[in-house]
Structure 1
Amino acid sequence: MHELGIVFHIINSLESVGRENQLTQVANVTLEIGEVSGVVDSYLKDCWKWASEKSSLLRGAKLITQEIPAVTYCEDCHQTYGTVEHGKVCPFCLGGNTYLVAGNEFNIKEIEAC
């Protein structure tokens, strides 16, 4: 379960930002998570509930997640398409000269302080 490691990384980052900005309490944290990032949303939220309670800055903070759609680019026909629906084969030209351009990342989008 790599979600716990991700949560610890996020909490460490947020505590650092909190110290720099003299925050005392965070109400909400919004994360963007790629559709094919391998992060399981329910596991992430369970880990968040447990780990955030150990931080005075984040105790009670709600974790909000938003999905970033997975998009693939075809170098043959220069089109983009939904990765999950079509995989590595371009639905426009049926070529396989493709690569993922979005959807495997996760980012802290917003922090809402109390």
Structure 2
Amino acid sequence: MHELGLVSGILDVAIKTAREAGASRVVSVSLRIGDMAEVNEESMDFAWDILREDDPLTAEAEMQVEYVRPKSVCVSCGHEFTHDRFHLRCPECGSGQTVLLAGREMDIVSMEIETPDDDG
């Protein structure tokens, strides 16, 4: 279950960033994860619920995830197309020579924090 490691890394970045900003808490972390990264959604949610409680800054933080469908371009004909994890052949010309444009990303897109000034 590599999701535990992923969530641990995400929370490390969130906590470090929040501390540097003088935050009193992390409200939410928004992620963009490609389908080709093979992340299990239920495992991510489970790991988030468990690991976020390890630090008071993230104890109540929400995780928002946008899952990105794979998108490739055909080297032979230039056609761009979306697909699942297994069907990488160009639907236009049938070529197997394609380059993945999107679908492997694993990015922290944004973070919402609360500062002591926001509390009162």
TM category (shorter chain) comes to over 0.9
> Structure 1 66/21 Cα, relative in aligned 2: closer, same or farther at 3 Å?
same
Distance 2:70 2:4 in 1: 23
Q: Percent identity among equivalent residues?
A: 28
Q: State the match for 2:55 in structure 1.
A: 55
Q: Give the alignment's Cα RMSD to 1 decimal.
A: 1.4
Q: State the match for 1:69 in structure 2.
A: 69
TM-score (norm 1): 0.93
Please identify runs of 4+ aligned residues in structure 1 that moved more than 3 A. Answer: none
Q: State the match for 1:104 in structure 2.
A: 104
Distance 1:102 1:80 in 2: 11
**8 Å contact from structure 1 (residues 72, 80) kept in 2:** yes
Q: State the match for 1:9 in structure 2.
A: 9
Moved more, 84-93 or 101-110: 84-93
Q: Give structure 2 stretches of 5+ with no counterpart.
A: 115-120
**8 Å contact from structure 1 (residues 83, 100) kept in 2:** no
TM-score (norm 2): 0.89
Q: State the match for 1:83 in structure 2.
A: 83
Distance 1:86 1:78 in 2: 20
**8 Å contact from structure 1 (residues 26, 111) kept in 2:** yes
Distance 1:28 1:10 in 2: 12
SS in 1 for 2:84: helix
Aligned residue type for 1:17: T
